[in-house]
Structure 1
Amino acid sequence: MRNRVKKLALILLSLVLISSFLTACSSSSSTTATTGVVTTVSESSTVEASGNITAKQQTTLSWETSGIVGEVNTDTNSSVSKGDVLMTLDPSTAPSDVIEAQETLVSAKADLESAQMSNTAKAQAAVTLASAQSDYNSALAAYWNKSGTQGTEEQIAVATAKLQIQDNKIYDLKKKLDALSDLPDNDSGKAQALQEYNQALIDRTSLKSNLDYLKATPDSLDVQTLQAALDLAKAKLEDAQRAYNEVKDGPSSDEISSAQAKVDAAQSTVNMLSITAPFDGEVVAIQTQVGDQVDSGTAAIILVNRSVLYVDILVDETDISKVEIGDTATISYSAMPDKTSTGKVTFINPVGTSSSGVVNYTVRVTLDEADADILLGATATVDINTGAATESLAVPVEAVQSDDSGEYVMRVNSDGTTERVTVVSGTVSGTSVMVTSSDLSAGDVVQLTSSSSSSSSSDSSQQQDAGSLLGGATGGGMSSGGNPPSGGGAPAGPGQ
């Protein structure tokens, strides 16, 4: 009996302790409220789509005939220029038609060169003929000019007029000098008049000599010299005419075109023996080596021009009107999560393609920098910036609640009271959600709905701990309903 009373006392003491513990915990939970702050974030209007990284130029160069690889003139990751011969076949291992084409090419080039030289000779002969004709005309004119007087009629007329003017001048000076004859010879005026008169006589002598020359006829030696020059010019003209006649009927333009076509055909066949770079680029893979037996169509080299990288994406018809040439974009990569690139929209295909009732338009985004570490063909996510950034309000996701009246947050005022503020939620970004509200401002404090559930969870945990404590105090605890646990009753006293 004494033992049973002792156990009941312990149970009552435990219940009192548990009640005090739960009350304290409940009080602590209810007085601690979780809150958040309204912030502003910058939002940009974007269009997102995915595509694959593509180089400006990329091609697989393949053999066009069969044979054994004789030379490999490049290495992987080597830069090459357009026209570089990258590989060749051993000519002796090529098919017979390719070997014959080499011989045909030599003869075809010789025929073409001959035809082109004939055409050049014709042009040169025409130039020589024109020059000879000009020389002959000059010699003939010189001969006829010297057959009469030394000067032309116009030259003689001008010289005669000048001499007449000079004679008149001399006459006037003579009269002036005669008027001064009574003066002594040392008179300055008389001396000046005499000097002018003498100079006029000298000038007349020069003018008379020029006129006499112009009126004179050439002597027989001059005529013979001119005749010889004329005969020589005529002979050269006749030679030039004969040379031109010999080549003027050379090959026609059709014959030259035919010769060129034969060269091109033979060259095309001979080119099958080599792999030539069609553009400037980088060799990223070599697929045949010296000594390999290859056939027509066997891949030889993969050549890439990485100077420009781009992504072609498909944009839905509902978004395509937002995208413009020049829009900036951000590119991220599935294979390189830590790397991003920038780019611009450089092409929009105005013709859409329909698939399963959805119309899409191809948009090309060209990267600003063609980084060497960007993998070709890699999946890229493109975010095109289609509008200027706007400021929006953001609250923690846990702050937004809703009921029959709509969405709202509970704002905590400076005096500790709360009030309901209506909001409209938008884009979720991480742990925040964009909201629209005319009554909410950045810096406002709002309640988070998670505080209530956290308190309840804490209370539940505390009750479980209290239950454990009770069970420990009673040697088994109380089961549901407050009944003693099975086998937990008071033992029978002695005599029972």
Structure 2
Amino acid sequence: MIRNLQILFVAISFLVYQPLAYGAEEAEGGQHQKGEAGHSAEGSEAREVHLTPEQRELLSVQTVTVPRGRADNIVTAPAEVHYVPDRVAEVGPLLQGKLTRLAVDLGDQVEKGQLLATLNSVELARIRSRLNSLKARKEAATAEYQREKQLRSESFTSEEEFLDAKAAYLEITAEYDSIREQLEVFGSDSSGADSSLAQYALRSPIQGRIERMDARLGQTLSSSDTPFTVADTSVVWVMLQVAETDIGRVSVGDEVQVFSKSVADRFHTGEVSWISNELDEETRTITVRVVLESPNGDLRPNTYAKARVMTQSAASLPLVPHDAVQTIDDESVVFVPGNEGGAYKAVPVTLGKEANDWIEIKSGISANTEVVSVGAFDLMSAITASGRSAAHGH
């Protein structure tokens, strides 16, 4: 009942326009066909619906780019969403310490190098103390070496004394540099001059979002602990498990549409980027990878999805989702965005085969056209309701 009232509200408020030249192309040749549906009857109206932003939100209108393929040659496969390996990091200290401060919370966006937590580490304090001691000894050894070098050049000291000073200088320098490099590996300031010798700053190695935080104040963390997970999920891998009998029809570059189970009425589009050569002996499937952008984060890693591979053939045609096709005055139509925001035009099309929830389009629109995939029924209902209202008004 509520849905019907929403459609009626839109029908009362939208405008119906006279025919506008759309320039529908043939799917195969891109040429106009005379006598095709939508062009055979003189005076048939191409209706255009104008929706306000509020009406668009009310009807949840969504569009999709029309791919090419054959409806009966689509490969379907279960899939799972994964993190991209270089866009996720398990973060923990490289030496033991007690957690004294948490600088972030779950869901926080962090930059590379941003502070996550602070620890107190006895081991770090010992290393820094050792470095400070070596620094003083290095300065003394450097001065002694330079003095002996000058004296040797003037023949005021023996070769043995000069070589002893040089050896002591090189030994202290090597040990100092080793300790300093060790601190750099720990991601720690060499001297700890800006903090206590024991303070350890745990920082994020990548830009991303805090997805896991298994940490509490006072907790002792070891070098094997990784209490933080930082991840960038704007790009994800979707791993398909394609049946052994179907893998021969799948190629790198094929278009893939991935449906997340959490958002069933919308899909993400990408391409096959890799096909494994290895067959899983238990499931008799082969892994296929698709790299997808997910700027809204609705493709969640470790969740399951459904994928459709639009395999290519020489006789491929434009394909639209089943729900995109509607009937107005006994004509099959799809809705395409108009020239203005919120405008949608009903374009007559000639249908081909239907399979796997997709319909081939023989003429009326071409591949790569934007068509309404969600909300087409509501637009059709609004047009027909408005037409009935106009008829009663005469």
Compare the two structures and name the one with the higher helix fraction: 1
TM-score (norm 2): 0.47
Compare the two structures and name the one with the higher strand fraction: 2
Of structures 1 and 2, the larger Rg is shown by 1
